[in-house]
Chain A
Amino acid sequence: MKKVIAAGLAALAMSVSGAAFAEPVKVGMITTLSGGGAGLGIDARDGFMLALKNAGDAASEIEVVTEDDGQKPELAVQIADKMIQSDQVDILTGIIWSNLAMAVVPSAVAQGKFYLSVNAGPSPLAGSQCNENYFNVAYQNDNFHEAMGQYANQDYKKTFILAPNYPAGTDALTGFKRFYKGELTGEVYTQLGQTDYAAEIAQIRASGADSVFMFLPGGMGIAFTKQYAQSGVDIPLMGPGFSFSQDVLGAIGDAALGVKNSGSWAKDLDNEANAKFVETFQAEYGRLPSVYAAQAYDTANLIVAAAGKASVKDADAFRAALKEADFDSVRGKFSFNTNNHPIQDIYVREVIKEGDVLTNKIVSTAFTDHKDAYAAECSLQ
């Protein structure tokens, strides 16, 4: 019965728009819905589903299967295998974490499936291991850190930097240093999952730095920012948007107020698509969207746009349609570089309070039409 209605809707859509392809598209969404990192995955899923809902008839032939990866790479691989072999999906998406993306993406694209990243852009996938079927709709991992490095040049000369000791952490500090021209008073790698930063904050206090840059995602960032504010150290703090995104601001509280952070999106970004996104997201889920929701929303709209131009079964045509990025991004302008990674503006945001709610406001633009540093290593043209 459902099928009949869907077919009827599709026929209707065809007769209205005339050119739309009624070819069904099956999307497999692997994301983190349980455990400590579930908030990010839930935001991504909700943003994705909202876009399909807002797209109305244009998305009627897009079917989504969602499964929880529990933030475990092995489980993500197993689900990807299942979605490819059993559910016969055309497109995979949804993964939040770099290490899970590295586990799933290379083999998925090698099997001829499309992978669209809603978050996480590990450097190998942007450079040497790039693939024509892998599109990153979010960012390359270094981007936000590079933006903070650029921003720090304006006001600071002596920065203390820290990140967890794992690939995304070293990438973060590399990205920051790529653009930062001042002196480093300290470079500290903390343990992954560490929750007490008293020792590091003491070092910061003693270092004589005029600013601190930190990349500590998830609970680590919440813990650090709270402890930093509590310690009474008043050296300005900055970081990438992940540590000051809507999903964690509530837990950090006023300790985050005034912190400068970088991102490709903010709630107050002035364009029509964004206004509609923020408004419908709040109406649908009763909370403010995070950057993860925004990126997933864009990803879903990209799929809808591409599906309207080409059949997903015709890989070459569909790939070309994806690459056009012909959709209204909540980030304003958005296009793909040769390595299928974004060319986009990156902003400096500040944490402010609107009534009782903490959120981000854009204060300046760090980069215009920024590209990642790895595109040259990618063989795609």
Chain B
Amino acid sequence: MSISRETAINLVLALLLLAVPFIAMQLGKPFYVTLATRMAILGLAAIGLNIALGLGGLVSFGHAAFFGIGGYAAGILASHAFSGQPLDFGLFAVPGSKLMPVIWAVAILAGGLLAAAIGSISLRTSGVYFIMITLAFAQMTYYFAISWPAYGGEDGLSITIRNTFPGVNTLVPQNYFLICYALLVVGLVLFAVLRDSRFGAALQASRQNEVRVASVGIAPFRIKLAAFVISGMITALAGALYADLNRFVSPSMLSWHMSGEFIVLIILGGVGRLCGPLAGAMLFVMFEYILGGLTERWQFFLGLLLLGVVLFARGGLIGLLAGRARHG
């Protein structure tokens, strides 16, 4: 079996991102490590969305809710660990934590629960209604976070010192990049495995023809819900990483602009493609950084660029480089 063109491009992209921090340190530009970390995290968040959107055809305009809940999981646990006060749930109390694996587990769990709740209502609808009802749920969490004073409201929540990972000094930017990169790779592998599994086949089939899937004895609702929950979990994990990168979490992680940005990342890179989200994140962060440094009107030119991509580069960056998708 020969390596397809898309696989080769995926490998190049992944290696390119891995190389950035090392080149940056050689050049004495440590800030590029932060940029690369941001690319990896946003890429991971978009991989989560890509499971729902790319494989299942579920255009969620509310994934910021999962991103934000992951971020708040990190922020809240860290703040309780810092203050030494346990989280009080009324019946029982749990201590905070500064351990990343614990925080990630909590973020994934919280994201999954929220996705199960949102999904079980939203998946009764389809098409534009689905886009809008997911947006509505994300808006609810946004306004809730803004007006909930316990964890900072609109001011957000600072994480004084980045959380820890056993055996690794996470304060060193390169180390934190490698942690995020490793999780990005896990996300990519998970996406590939899911896509090629029976579950993935049923999910993609349900996108194309729901009736036929139902007629062979698979419940499309449960498959879609499962995909939506997995999708929410991955995006929540990315949210926890993002909070630790910024050492800060705020309701703006929950805003509809964020949801829009995830969709933008996927389309920029290529919908349903394995490395589409990663390519999109790399492009987007690069655009934002370069344009932001050039002109204060950068949003205008960012808009023009995005418009150019959607009008003239169908299939996104990967589509442009690798040709038509398998299920184009």
Determine direct contact between A and B, CB below 8 Å. Answer: yes
Chain A interface (Cβ within 8 Å of chain B)? 33-35, 67-68, 70, 72-75, 77-79, 81-82, 85-86, 98-99, 102-103, 106-107, 110, 122, 165-168, 170, 189, 191-192
Is the CB–CB distance between A110 and B160 below 8 Å? yes
Is residue B156 contacting chain A, with contact meaning CB distance below 8 A? yes
Which residue in chain B gives the minimum CB-CB distance to A66? Answer: B296
Is the CB–CB distance between B34 and A81 below 8 Å? yes
Complexed CA–CA distance, A375 and B199 (Å)? 60
Is the CB–CB distance between B253 and A122 below 8 Å? no
Given A34-B297, A73-B250, A77-B246 in contact, is the A192-B30 Cβ separation under 8 Å? no
Most buried by A among B147, B153, B155, B248: B155
* Per-position 1/0 for B117-155, Cβ under 8 A of A: 000000000000000000000000001001101001111
- Partner among B143, B153, B155, B248 whose Cβ is within 8 Å of the Cβ of A77: B248
Complexed CA–CA distance, A188 and B299 (Å)? 36
Complexed CA–CA distance, A35 and B146 (Å)? 20
Chain B residues 1-58 with CB under 8 Å of chain A are 29-31, 34-35, 38
Report 17 cross-chain contacts, Cβ distance below 8 Å, ordered by A residue. A33-B296, A34-B296, A34-B299, A67-B293, A74-B252, A78-B35, A82-B31, A102-B158, A102-B248, A103-B248, A106-B158, A106-B160, A106-B247, A166-B153, A167-B149, A167-B153, A168-B155
Chain B residues 106-126 with CB under 8 Å of chain A are none
Is residue B298 contacting chain A, with contact meaning CB distance below 8 A? yes
B153 — which chain A residues lie within 8 A by C-beta? 166-167, 170
Is the CB–CB distance between A68 and B252 below 8 Å? no
Which residue in chain A gives the minimum CB-CB distance to B153? Answer: A167
Q: How many whole Å from A94's CB to the nearest CB in chain B?
A: 13
Complexed CA–CA distance, A203 and B257 (Å)? 33
Q: How many whole Å from B279's CB to the nearest CB in chain A?
A: 20
Is the CB–CB distance between A102 and B292 below 8 Å? no
Complexed CA–CA distance, A359 and B150 (Å)? 39
Complexed CA–CA distance, A192 and B251 (Å)? 12
Query: A-B pairs with the 5 shortest C-beta distances?
Result: A166-B154, A86-B31, A85-B31, A33-B296, A103-B248
B155 — which chain A residues lie within 8 A by C-beta? 98-99, 102, 122, 166-168
Given A67-B292, A70-B299, A98-B155 in contact, is the A103-B34 Cβ separation under 8 Å? no
Q: How many whole Å from A310's CB to the nearest CB in chain B?
A: 27
Q: How many whole Å from A125's CB to the nearest CB in chain B?
A: 10
Complexed CA–CA distance, A192 and B296 (Å)? 26
Chain B residues 247-279 with CB under 8 Å of chain A are 247-248, 250, 252-253
A35 — which chain B residues lie within 8 A by C-beta? 299
B253 — which chain A residues lie within 8 A by C-beta? 74
Complexed CA–CA distance, A78 and B322 (Å)? 32
Complexed CA–CA distance, A81 and B285 (Å)? 15
Which residue in chain A gives the minimum CB-CB distance to B152? Answer: A167
Is the CB–CB distance between B146 and A166 below 8 Å? yes
Given A82-B31, A106-B160 in contact, is the A72-B154 Cβ separation under 8 Å? no
Is the CB–CB distance between A165 and B146 below 8 Å? yes
Most buried by B among A34, A74, A189: A74
Complexed CA–CA distance, A107 and B292 (Å)? 22
Complexed CA–CA distance, A189 and B153 (Å)? 14
* Per-position 1/0 for B205-243, Cβ under 8 A of A: 000000000000000000000000000000000000010
A102 — which chain B residues lie within 8 A by C-beta? 152, 155-156, 158, 248, 250
